[in-house]
Structure 1
Amino acid sequence: MFGYNIAKHPVLDQKMICLWSEEDHYRRSEAKLLPGFGSNLCSFIVDGLEYLHQAPMPVIGTKFFGTPILYPFPNRVRNCRFTFDGVEYHLPDNDGGRSLHCLVADTPFDYEIPVVKDDSISVATHLQILPGHPVFQQFPIANRLDLIYTLKNDSIEIIVKITNLDEEKRFPFGFGIHPYFNIFGSKADTLLHVPAKKWMEAISLLPTGNLIDMEKSPADLSIPTPIKGLTLDEVWYGMDPKKPQSIIYQTINRKLVLKASDIFTHSVTYTPLLEPFVCVENQTNSTDCHNLYSRGFEKESHLLILNPGESISGTLQFSVEKLS
């Protein structure tokens, strides 16, 4: 049985959509969504275990927690600007001369009433960025982002659709998520697996465009690796939908599998040494994708470009499995 209610987030005082599944009066899985705060998936619980880190966090605060949406660019943009089709775009400086983590992390999305089916429950949210919208002032190309969240007994799926609503301009963009996953047990017993093809060499967290073999990267995560002692903030290239990323929790005998469709060619891992979380961020493109693209690194950046009226879709999924 699946159901939902609408409550208030205890910290942000935001409307929160709560989805759940039950079996014989036992709550098997839960998901909580904040449509008015960036359509943030702020909670994902399976068999009583909360996999997403909650707000507020002592250092990061309340803007980044749960699963922030990174759009229309993930992570950093060099010098807060880029040029595309002869137009220079200027973005806000929120990272010491760079733009960091998109424009919509706390932007209100519209939402629809959840839909209950025999084997799932779904809720749709969308953000339409048109003239007059605050985000349009910073990135003046009309567009729409649609997200559908579907909860099953042991998984949450996010269907992503982006549409260029502009009548004249091409829309250059990227999409990503920035989930903060909890750690169960020790970091020595928590393994990270990122089966990428290459590591993106970077200077001051901005990729150079050079692709480096995994064995020469700061940590070869193509092999499951304990996160104890890792201080990564790295971009990975060449993700394969048939080889999903995962976090392996040996202490609780569980694996969180992070599946993504083929538009998600990149990933970022963030493993702060002293924090009780790890971030594994599926992205459609590289950090600083617009500037890499303009420098000729088209393959490496994987900047997505939609002509007027065009759309593109992709799928993400978190699923919990028992270790064999």
Structure 2
Amino acid sequence: MPAAIRRQRLPNTVENLNPEVVILSDGFGGEAVIWPALGFNCIGWTCDWQGRQLNLVHQDPALFTHPSPTRSGNPVLFPFPNRIRHGKYDWAGHTYSLPINHGDTSIHGFACRAPWRVVSEGVAEGEAWLTGEYHGFVDNPSTSEQWPADHILRLTCRLKRGRLGFEAEILNPDPITLPWGLGYHPYFRSNWHADFANSPLEIRVQATSSWELENCLPTGKVRPVDKSKDLSQWHSLTDLNLDDVLTGLANQPDNDGMLVECGALRYPGGPTLRVLADPVFRHVVVFTPADRASVCIEPYTCVTDAINLEACGKCEMPSGLIESPPGGHFRAEMAWEIS
């Protein structure tokens, strides 16, 4: 069966949200489902592993009736991942205010909450891809008062056998410097297949350091990973409660030597899912939602609240905040791989 692309309308979706999803097929039984109207969110990925159809991506039960942009699939976090303290920051002599949407913070940027445009798609032998675009001040005009410079994010989802890649391009169309960070918030299911329902899912994140947090916000201090949360070796998720920002990754390369491992999940003796990314993704949030239906391994180019940490000079290591000059063009890739 050749690789293919098809479209489908979701049932029972809310008004004012385009219900069309795009389904990529790799020709080997694997599929990825992308919802352009919900922040170009990849809300599903299935793939074949030794004759079993693995269902890897979690969907919130209310996804199709009361969809939250950050509770299912793979939310794209841009131009900042995670929280900004009190929804305020200073940049180039100006104070900016953001919508408060999580406690007393602003969280996860703008791109995950806006419809995207599909700008390209295609198939080749054994692969299918879809490219979406989010143009900040055009697609979300209110953000022109909330961020220092306009920004464009193009994201290509590329499906191959046992692999789903996310190839990002960040462009600065403004005549001033663009500060930004990019993150992904994938929700991986705790149960991939009925054959593994009684097996403990294990996690590995080979990080040496952790950002010290107060109320989920970094103080700027970096500490060795607490022994109770050391994930450098495989560890069952059964007894873990995590919402931590890790760094100092071991940088284990993938088979092509281009991307490095940010974290991995496995069933002992069964399939392994590796989260891979360019080395620019120096920070990883590991989160175990309370319902235990999923686990998140979130690659970030910058730490939580990076724009404020840089301004106050409290970082014990680089925050990862990137500043793109006018006309700047930056590429970064993240991928999931099953073996």
- TM-score of the pair, normalised by structure 2: 0.87
Shift of residue 174 of structure 1?
0.7
Other-structure match for 1:320:
338
The CA distance in 2 between the partners of 1:96 and 1:156, in whole Å, is: 33
Check if 1:162 corresponds to 2:167.
no
Give how far 1:138 is off. Answer: 2.7
Please report how far the alpha carbon of residue 241 of structure 1 lies from its aligned counterpart in structure 2 after TM superposition.
Answer: 5.7
Which runs of no fewer than 5 residues in structure 1 stay unpaired? none
CA deviation vs aligned residue, 1:117-160 (integer Å, no higher than 9, x gap): 11311111111123672333432511110101110011110101
Deviation at 1:209, TM superposition (A): 1.3
**Match for residue 58 of structure 2 among 44, 53, 57:** 53
- Contact 1:65/1:180, CA 8 A, preserved across alignment: yes
Partner residue in 2 for 1:143: 151
- For 1:299, the aligned partner's letter is M
1:62 is paired with a residue of what secondary structure? coil
Q: Structure 2 unaligned runs (5+)?
A: 254-259
What CA distance in whole angstroms lies between the structure 2 residues aligned with 1:291 and 1:187? 44
Equivalent-residue separation in structure 1 for 2:331 and 2:32 (angstroms): 22
Deviates further, 93-102 or 137-146: 137-146
Shift in Å at residue 181 of structure 1? Answer: 0.4
Task: Give 1:84 shift.
Answer: 1.6
Q: Is the 8 A contact 2:78 2:110 kept in 1?
A: yes
CA distance in 2, matches of 1:16, 1:304: 32
Q: Deviations over 1:62-101 (max 9, x none)?
A: 2120111111111111111111221211111112211112
Q: Would the aligned equivalents of 1:40 and 1:66 in 2 still touch at CA under 8 Å?
A: yes
Alpha-carbon distance between aligned partners in 1 of 2:224 and 2:83, rounded to the nearest angstrom = 23
Aligned positions of 1:300-315 closer than 5 A: 300-315=318-333
Give yes or no for contact 1:257–1:319 (8 Å, CA) kept in 2.
yes
**TM-score, normalised on structure 1?**
0.90
Look up the match of 1:257.
274
Q: What are the equivalent positions in structure 2 for 1:154-193 lying under 5 Å apart? A: 154-167=162-175, 169-184=176-191, 185=196, 189-193=200-204
* Counterparts of 1:198 and 1:298, CA distance in 2: 12
Deviation of 1:57 (Å): 4.7
* 99-108 vs 74-83, which moves further: 99-108
Cα deviation code 1:39-72 (max 9, x no counterpart): 10110101222100113359xx621201111111
CA contact (8 A) 1:43 1:52 kept: yes
| Distance of aligned partners of 1:85 and 1:186 in 2 relative to their CA distance in 1, 3 Å threshold | farther
CA distance in 2, matches of 1:45, 1:134: 36
Which residue is equivalent to 1:39? Answer: 40
Aligned to 1:91: 98
CA contact (8 A) 1:237 1:300 kept: no
For these two proteins, the number of residue pairs brought into alignment is 313
Matched-pair identity in %: 27
Deviates more, 1:128-137 or 1:198-207: 128-137
Structure 1 SS opposite 2:111: coil
Query: What is the SS of the residue equivalent to 1:130?
Result: helix
Alignment root-mean-square deviation, CA: 2.1
Letter in 1 for 2:67: T
Task: Tell me which amino acid in the other structure corresponds to 2:239.
Answer: G
1:200 aligned residue: 211
Q: After the TM superposition, which residues 205-284 of structure 1 pair with which residues of structure 2 at under 5 Å, given as runs?
A: 205-214=216-225, 216=226, 218-239=228-249, 240=251, 242=253, 243-244=260-261, 245-250=263-268, 253-284=270-301
SS at match of 1:112: strand
Structure 1 partner of 2:83: 76
Q: In structure 2, what is the Cα distance between the partners aligned to 1:203 and 1:197?
A: 20
Which range is displaced more, 106-115 or 130-139? 130-139
1:205 positional shift? 0.5
Alignment match, 1:21: 26
Residue 134 (structure 2) aligned to one of 127, 140, 150? 127
